[in-house]
């Protein structure tokens, strides 16, 4: 990385590292199987208040592997139709409220938020 200033060199190294850590997608048939598996619980919240859950491994949310406590299950899901139609949150079917730690903050704050239950699974503590 000759000829680059230190910031440019650092950014280039970070970009190379990011590219090296991206896994290739599975074959289309495997993708379809996994999508069906992930979509199966959609619209059927099987959790109840007091359950300890964690985001599923491929869920696009933080906290995979971390415990979250179910504090509310919506009788009627909340539909998010505000904002940008290209946002992942647009049209979300928010049917469960969880509380958990937010490890990205300095104080490791605890907060509650609405989620789509299909993105969660029961929490199992690793030994």
Contact of 66 with 92, CB cutoff 8 Å: no
Structural domain boundaries in the chain? 1-40, 44-122
pLDDT tens, position by position, 62-112: 889 999 999 999 999 999 888 888 888 888 899 999 999 987 767 778 999
pLDDT of residue 61: 86
Sheet holding 120-122, edge to edge: 110-115, 93-101, 68-79, 52-55, 120-122
- Counting Cβ atoms within 10 Å, is residue 60 exposed (0-12), middle (13-18) or buried (19+)? exposed
């Amino acid at each position: 990385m000759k000829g680059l200033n230190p910031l440019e060199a650092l950014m280039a190294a970070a970009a190379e590292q990011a590219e090296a850590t991206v896994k290739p997608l599975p074959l289309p048939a495997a993708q379809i199987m996994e999508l069906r598996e992930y979509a199966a619980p959609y619209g059927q919240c099987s959790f109840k208040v007091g359950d300890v859950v964690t985001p599923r491994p491929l869920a696009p949310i933080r906290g995979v592997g971390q415990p979250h406590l179910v504090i509310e299950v919506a009788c009627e899901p909340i539909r998010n139709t505000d904002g940008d139609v290209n946002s992942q949150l647009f049209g979300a079917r928010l049917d469960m409220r969880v509380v958990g730690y937010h490890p990205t903050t300095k104080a490791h704050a605890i907060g509650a938020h609405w989620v789509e239950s299909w993105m969660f699974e029961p929490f199992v503590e690793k030994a």
